[in-house]
Amino acid sequence: MMQMNIHEILKHLPHRYPFVLIDRIEDLQLNKEITAIKNVTINEPFFPGHFPYHPVMPGVLIVEAMAQAAAILSFKTMNVLPTEDSVYYFAGIDNVRFKKPVSPGDQLVLNVKIDRVLKGIWKYKATAHVANELVAEAQMMCILKNI
């Protein structure tokens, strides 16, 4: 069982505030899967506009959090760190489903499994849970590109 704190996460993600959506890695198994945590707080920069009287985390950011967990899993599996010359892009997102809204105070538990890797394209199955209840799921494809 491999865990990571925020300092280690920042080494393995090119994202920075306000777009880092992973707070902690609970478990990482190289070439297999990752379980990551996103603590959702009222201080998130998107809540004043989404929505002022009923704050809800945008679904696209839940999917982005899944992708960031996938990126960490891939970088650790490849034993490389992101550089200024590389970007980890979405290549596709399929079968996305949102089951329940995510609100301030919730803790998103993200689970991402590697489905397959072919010609540098990584395919994943991802879920997000709050209090053991499924809130979102998706299949994603990502690719590491040099810029």
Q: How many Å apart are CA 114 and CA 117, to the nearest integer? A: 8
pLDDT digits (tens, 9 = 90+) for 66-96: 999 999 999 999 999 998 888 889 999 999 9
How many domains, in total, are found in the chain? Answer: 1
pLDDT digits (tens, 9 = 90+) for 125-135: 999 999 999 99
Residue type, 23: D
Q: Measuring CA to CA, which residue among 116, 114, 29 is closest to residue 76?
A: 29
Residue range of the domain that includes 85: 2-146
Reply yes or no on whether 50 is catalytic: yes
Name the least confident of 8-12, 22-26, 82-86, 109-113.
Answer: 82-86
Q: How many Å apart are CA 85 and CA 77, to the nearest integer? A: 19
- SS3 of residue 23 by DSSP: coil
Catalytic position from the list 7, 12, 15, 50: 50
Whether the pLDDT of residue 8 is over 90: the answer is: yes
Report the CATH number at residue 46.
Answer: 3.10.129.10
Question: What confidence tier does 60 reach under pLDDT thresholds 50, 70, 90?
Answer: very high
